[in-house]
Structure 1
Amino acid sequence: MDGGIDAITYSLHAMVPEAAEQALAGWVAGTSGASLSPWGSHMTVIGRFPLMEDADALPALMGAIEESCGATEPFAIRLNKTAVRRHRYESSRMIVMLECDGRTDDFDRFVQYRAGLASRLASLIGPTDIRLLEEEYVPHVSLTTGIDERTARRVARSAEAAKVDIRFMLSRIWLYRHEKTTTGQLGTTPVQAFRLGAKP
């Protein structure tokens, strides 16, 4: 996917619980340059992808997600490692992320879960977008939008000083739909939540 917003795309996310969202909002309010997603702080499981052009593609996608989630029990995850990363689509911009430490069991559980889900979805998305499922991915919550590097470094230092830390049970993931609106912006709407460990 080239990062354009003309096509309808989908994505999968774990939403940050309300208590953690409120704590983040308090830190953001006092930190210039920091920001939260307008549709709720979230940990991306699989980023935006188009479906194959097939009338049955969306039901097949939802069925695959439900089956994959049902085969995985909820698990705890902790995001407490601040990192500054280059923006995927705007190479001159940076994003501050709160990541899961790669040396923890949390990280291993997430990677295992994501790999199983990705294998179920691989046949449902376009061939040029398979890389979104195969590439190495670090679970995270974004603490900024795309900003300049100097500001990003300052925001990261602030997050470290404040010991920003998110812990929650990953018990459900949300499927979201993304579509260009009449104003030219990218509209994001929830489609359905899927509970981990829920048997059909």
Structure 2
Amino acid sequence: MREFPSRIPQYKVSIWETIAVVLGAIAVLGVGLTGLAMKFLSNAATPQRAEAIASHIMTYQLPDGSQGLLGINIAGAKIALVASEGDEPDVQLLMARVPVNGEAGRQRIDRILDSIALGADEEELKVNSVRAENRLLCGQTTGISIREGMLKYPESAEKSTVIYRGNVVLGESRYFVNLLVNDANGDVARKKANDIFNSLQCRR
């Protein structure tokens, strides 16, 4: 059985930026950053919690293994961020499962998840192309946005980047996917992103 560290790993700045983007979006829902909320956020950023929540959303296959970064249950939604191994991973996968109903709080989560873009800082990500494709996600055909460009975090070499974003409704749940893949070789990044996306299977 895999053992998890007892405290939050010390990731490179780029990973903390990603986590901050997600937590910032969640904070819009009214989750404060003091008192009990600090305990909530601390627990959310533990690897075992992140991977446990991810396992209830989707199955996935990341090259060279995966690590959990963030896992949140809020307003009936499950949100998880996982990445490839290492302190500066070249794969980041944000996934979520949100109940489909008319409650305002959950509709707000829908909008927030749809607006989150990994590596979205304009100074770091230079998008060269954007296209839409109809792809299978969890056995259903849905529209997927694919962006390609170059991403450079501070103190890191510039890398080719491919970002997949999409969602699909299955039964009473909407599943969101936001996948970012970096590699020095653009063709490798494209293949890796395609393979990971094709490995995704929704948990029901």
TM over 0.5: same fold? Answer: no
Name the one with the larger helix percent. 1
Give me the TM-score of the superposition, normalised by structure 1.
0.30
> Relative contact order, CA 8 A, sep 6+: which one is greater?
1
Looking at CA atoms only, which structure, 1 or 2, has the larger radius of gyration? 1
Which has more strand, going by share of residues? 2
- For normalisation by structure 2, the TM-score amounts to 0.29
